[in-house]
């Protein structure tokens, strides 16, 4: 997922729209757009160092005569605000009004592979802004230089005598000004300068809480998601997957009866599924639900065993808790030896369940084979080149005949990658090819839960040793299991010796000063599909580690806040962050204590270091009717430097929501080889009334820019668990918390 094909030609995409006609989907029509415009030929990769494509202005920007600016963003917008943040950086350097931007996700193409030295792109890992900040600054600066040159030529004055104001080139000496819209066509005809540099000094837009560009479209129903795409003449498909992953459809007992149902066009067998095509999704779904299928294992693929269960998988992980593993790269000293000589040793086991992504918009894909030999695909995705490569394999067409359109995503959290061939896009391609008509596939919520790439069920055994003064002298953790890196990429992506960082992050690479530390990974495969989930391994491992750190503080007879401070003496950045969250919360106090509303409350503290950012979290809880009630969550986040503080605050708030929901309620339980939770009636998520107040403080340390979308998630579960332990004296080591009925201490 970090390296994509650089040799394929880019395909032009116009974006999804409701009721797209064939003509509207395939071209813009004449004369609508001028100048710093979309490329007339496929972009070509050029080796230009770490910002390889930053000066390819025509690939990214279109300025219309009315001054509207169309920006093709390499990243997908799924609610995280990336269309606004990228436009904000470009607008800063272009010297344009942010409100003038219309942003869409760029098509597959080498010019948009802006990550890792210009060799790949995906939306995930909280990489988007931090990996491309300089790229977009240079892009905006280059476009501005072209406009200034065009303006100077139009006015007949030296370039040095011209400046810009938002949306205009200005010649101060003569008090003349020309709008960007007037100059766009002339600017596009100029050679792209290779030396334009970003501005120095204070910013006008970067660092300000600018309003989101997509708010009005989303609030008025004009925003187009994958589910909204409609194509002339399309059929709609509903699918029923095999009850246990890996099985294939054999006999379809009532196939004739299904074909005779109202509106049904045809019935098809697909890998691992049966699909019904009809003139409406409701009719397709109604028929598919009645399908009587005899499922087989004739494909030779491994079928999830009928006796597979979450309990059995957890037992398999626990059985390897003392096994020999591959140490993480941050190992130092001799942790096992230091444990043997410690004054006090604490050992604890922690576990977390399989989780669904449960994003608001269920998966979908719309596919059309065109009469000119091209293929259009509309599907929510986080990696257009990766999806296009899959379309090549599935359709048999060359890449330059394929257009992958990336509509807005109704949430993603790692769901909109591909994890094998069971995806609506693969199914839609096969169905469209079979019936020679456009096809739209939608997975019902039940089918989505049945074929999710779940967050892995996880387990860790942690052993900590204290000296006579209550300082940690050793920490040794064993993490048996398998993360998405090991599951989908294998040893080639895990180093030598192989170590799955997606399974151990959040236990390894913690900031505390511990002379002897070691985190071992023992590979125990999952029979079911697993994938990336918001903050990946951090989402459960920081719960394990930060909860265990409180256990060590208790064994040392120390306050957990002071205990962390004592082990962060080498890091002013982390100590400042702890002080910031304590100040934000009105001063650290653990409790228990009486609240003015009559409840009895306590607080917990946790830290996390995910995706280049540092986070400190405090949660305040009480107990009501045996369940945890979280009243307030305070988060101090240090992402180094920032673009839009409003987006950061919103992302932290949403991260707190998903972190609390997952910790409190969410789990997918397998029994009989099948997931028992197939919709929200059985998969409980945080209700609106259960959402705490969230308070956010952004700390700019000046460190390298970190990620934003995920770092707020992993500190929440341990902060809540640590508060519960302070309040009740009961240590919660297994998620979700709702499994336990709690009482006051």
Chain segment 363-392, per-residue pLDDT in tens: 999 999 999 999 999 999 999 999 999 999
Angle at 138 between CA 134 and CA 141, to 5 degrees: 140
- Ramachandran bin of 223, using left for φ above 0, alpha for ψ from -120 to 50, beta for the remaining angles: beta
Is residue 744's pLDDT more than 80?
no
**Phi/psi zone of residue 698: left (φ > 0), alpha (ψ -120 to 50 degrees), beta?**
beta
Q: What is the mean pLDDT of residues 634-642?
A: 97
What is the H or E stretch that residue 145 is in? helix 128-155
Q: Which residues contact 127 (CB under 8 A, 6 or more apart)?
A: 115, 611, 707
- The rounded distance, in Å, linking the Cα atoms of 402 and 374 is 6
- Contact call for residues 101 and 95 (beta carbons, < 8 A): no
- With residue 288 as reference, give the H or E element that holds it: helix 281-288
Q: Give dist(CA 260, CA 138) in Å, integer.
A: 60
Supply the pLDDT for residue 492: 80
CB 276, CB 292: distance < 8 Å: no
**Helix H or strand E segment including 645:** helix 645-664
pLDDT band at 7 (very low <50, low <70, confident <90, very high): very low
pLDDT at 139 over 50: yes
Residue 33 has pLDDT above 70, yes or no: no
Question: Do residues 212 and 643 make contact, with C-beta atoms less than 8 angstroms apart?
Answer: no
Q: What is the DSSP letter of 193?
A: P
pLDDT of the residue at 728: 96
Q: Per residue in 418-472, pLDDT tens?
A: 888 789 999 999 999 999 999 999 999 999 999 999 999 999 999 999 999 999 9
Cβ atoms of residues 557 and 521 within 8 Å: no
pLDDT class for 299, splitting at 50, 70, 90? low
Q: Is residue 45 scored above 60 in pLDDT?
A: no
Residue 21 has a pLDDT of 33
Roughly how many angstroms between the first and final C-alpha of the chain, as a whole number? 48
8-17: average pLDDT: 26
Kindly report, residue by residue over 189-241, the tens digit of the pLDDT: 999 999 999 999 899 999 999 999 999 999 999 999 999 999 999 999 999 99
Select from 378, 381, 416, 373 the least CA-distant residue to 397: 373
**Where residue 50 falls among pLDDT bands split at 50, 70, 90?**
low
The mean of the pLDDT values for the chain is 91
What per-residue confidence (pLDDT) applies to 493?
A: 83
Tell me the two tokens of residue 225: 């998601």
Give pLDDT tens digits for 524-565.
999 999 999 999 999 999 999 999 999 999 999 999 999 999
Between residues 24 and 498, which one has the greater pLDDT?
A: 498
Residue 160 has pLDDT above 80, yes or no: yes
Contact 685, 661 (CB under 8 A): yes
- Per-residue pLDDT at 579: 98
pLDDT at 36 over 70: no
Q: Does 278 have pLDDT greater than 80?
A: yes
Strands 439-442 and 458-466: unpaired
Rounded to an integer, the average pLDDT of 402-422 is 92
pLDDT for position 48? 29
The pairing of strands 273-278 and 264-270 is antiparallel
Query: Mind listing the pLDDT tens digit for each residue in 700-735?
Result: 999 999 999 999 999 999 999 999 999 999 999 999
Mean pLDDT calculated for residue range 287-315: 91
Nearest to 404 by CA among 365, 437, 442: 365
Residue 116 — pLDDT band, cuts 50, 70, 90?
confident
Q: What does the chain come to in residues?
A: 745
Residue 418 · residue 367 · CB < 8 Å: no
Distance CA 719, CA 733 (A): 13
CA–CA separation, 616 and 613 (whole Å): 10
pLDDT at residue 301, rounded to an integer: 73
Q: Check if the beta carbon of residue 219 is closer than 8 Å to that of residue 101.
A: no
Integer angstrom CA distances of residue 48 from 4, 116, 119, 291, 745: 17, 12, 11, 55, 63
CA dihedral 680, 684, 688, 691 (to 10 degrees): -150
CB atoms within 10 A of CB 319: 13
Preceding peptide of 736 cis, ω within 30°? yes
pLDDT of residue 5: 28
Answer yes or no: is pLDDT of 28 > 60: no
pLDDT digits (tens, 9 = 90+) for 77-89: 999 999 999 999 9
Rounded CA gap, 428 and 470, in Å?
Answer: 61
The DSSP string of 467-526 is: -TTS-EEEEEEEEEE--HHHHHT-GGGSTTTT--HHHHBTTBS--S--SSEEEEEEE---
Please give the radius of gyration of the chain, using alpha carbons only, rounded to the nearest integer: 27
Q: Where in 10-113 does DSSP place strands (E)? A: 61-63, 69-73, 101-105
Residue 416 is predicted with a pLDDT of 92
pLDDT in the model for residue 421: 79
């Amino acid at each position: 997922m970090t390296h994509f094909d650089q040799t394929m030609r880019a395909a032009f995409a116009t974006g999804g729209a409701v009721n797209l006609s064939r003509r509207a989907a395939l071209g813009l029509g004449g004369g609508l757009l001028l100048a710093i415009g979309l490329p007339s030929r496929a972009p070509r990769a050029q080796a230009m160092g770490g910002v390889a494509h930053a000066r390819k202005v025509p690939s990214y920007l279109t300025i219309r005569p009315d001054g509207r600016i169309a920006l093709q963003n390499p990243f997908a917008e799924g609610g995280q605000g990336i269309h606004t943040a990228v436009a904000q950086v470009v607008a800063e350097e272009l010297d344009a009004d942010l409100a003038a931007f219309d942003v869409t996700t760029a098509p597959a193409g080498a010019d948009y592979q802006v990550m890792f030295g210009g060799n790949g792109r995906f939306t995930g890992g909280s990489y988007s802004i931090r990996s491309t900040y300089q790229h977009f600054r240079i892009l905006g600066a280059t476009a501005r230089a072209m406009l200034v040159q065009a303006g100077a030529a139009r006015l007949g004055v030296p370039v040095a005598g011209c400046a810009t104001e938002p949306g205009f080139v200005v010649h101060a000496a003569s008090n003349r000004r020309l709008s960007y819209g007037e100059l766009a066509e002339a600017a596009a005809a100029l050679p792209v300068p290779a030396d334009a540099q970003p501005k120095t000094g204070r910013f006008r837009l970067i660092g300000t809480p600018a309003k989101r560009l997509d708010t009005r479209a989303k609030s008025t129903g004009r925003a187009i998601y994958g589910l909204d795409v409609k194509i002339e003449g399309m059929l709609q498909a509903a699918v029923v997957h095999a009850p246990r992953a890996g099985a294939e459809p054999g006999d379809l007992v009532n196939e004739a009866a299904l074909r005779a149902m109202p509106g049904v066009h045809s019935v098809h067998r697909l890998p691992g599924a049966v699909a019904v095509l009809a003139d409406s999704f409701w009719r397709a779904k109604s028929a598919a639900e009645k399908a009587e299928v005899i499922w087989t294992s004739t494909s030779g693929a491994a079928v999830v065993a009928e006796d597979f269960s979450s309990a059995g998988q957890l037992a398999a992980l626990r059985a390897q808790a003392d096994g020999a593993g591959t140490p993480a790269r941050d190992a130092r000293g001799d942790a096992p030896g230091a444990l043997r000589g410690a004054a006090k040793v604490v050992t604890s086991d922690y576990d977390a369940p399989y989780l669904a992504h449960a994003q608001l918009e269920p998966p979908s894909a719309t596919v059309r084979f065109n009469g000119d030999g091209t293929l259009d695909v509309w599907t929510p995705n986080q990696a257009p080149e990766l999806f296009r490569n899959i379309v090549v394999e599935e359709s048999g067409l060359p890449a330059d005949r394929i257009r992958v359109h990336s509509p807005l995503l109704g949430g993603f959290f790692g769901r909109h990658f591909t994890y094998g061939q069971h995806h609506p896009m693969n199914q839609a391609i096969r169905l469209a090819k079979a019936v020679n008509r456009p096809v739209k596939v939608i997975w019902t919520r039940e089918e989505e839960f049945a074929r999710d790439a779940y967050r892995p069920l996880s387990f860790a055994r942690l052993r900590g040793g204290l000296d006579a003064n209550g300082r940690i002298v050793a920490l040794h953790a064993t993490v048996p299991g398998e993360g998405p890196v090991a599951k989908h990429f294998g040893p080639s992506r895990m180093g030598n010796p192989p170590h799955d960082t997606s399974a151990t992050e959040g236990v390894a690479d913690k900031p505390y000063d511990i002379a002897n530390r070691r985190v071992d990974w023992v590979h125990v495969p999952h029979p079911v599909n697993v994938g990336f989930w918001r903050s990946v391994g951090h989402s459960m491992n920081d719960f394990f580690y930060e909860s265990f750190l409180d256990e060590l503080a208790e064994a040392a007879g120390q306050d957990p806040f002071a205990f962390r401070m004592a082990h962060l003496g080498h890091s002013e950045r982390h100590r400042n962050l702890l002080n910031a969250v304590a100040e934000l919360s009105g001063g650290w106090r653990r409790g228990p204590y009486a609240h003015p509303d009559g409840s009895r409350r306590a607080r917990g503290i946790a830290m996390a270091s995910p995706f280049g950012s540092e986070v400190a979290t405090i949660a305040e809880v009480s107990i009501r009717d045996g369940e945890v009630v979280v009243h307030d969550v305070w988060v101090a986040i240090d992402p180094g430097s920032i673009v839009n503080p409003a987006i950061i605050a919103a992302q932290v708030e949403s991260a707190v929501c998903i972190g609390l929901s997952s910790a409190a309620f969410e789990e997918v339980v397998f029994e009989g080889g099948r997931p028992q939770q197939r919709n929200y009636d059985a998969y409980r998520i945080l209700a609106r009334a259960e959402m705490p107040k969230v308070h956010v403080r952004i700390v700019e340390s000046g460190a390298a820019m970190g990620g934003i979308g995920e770092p707020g998630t992993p500190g929440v579960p341990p902060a809540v668990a640590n508060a519960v332990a302070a309040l009740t004296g009961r240590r919660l080591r297994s998620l979700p918390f709702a499994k336990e009925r709690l009482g006051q201490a």
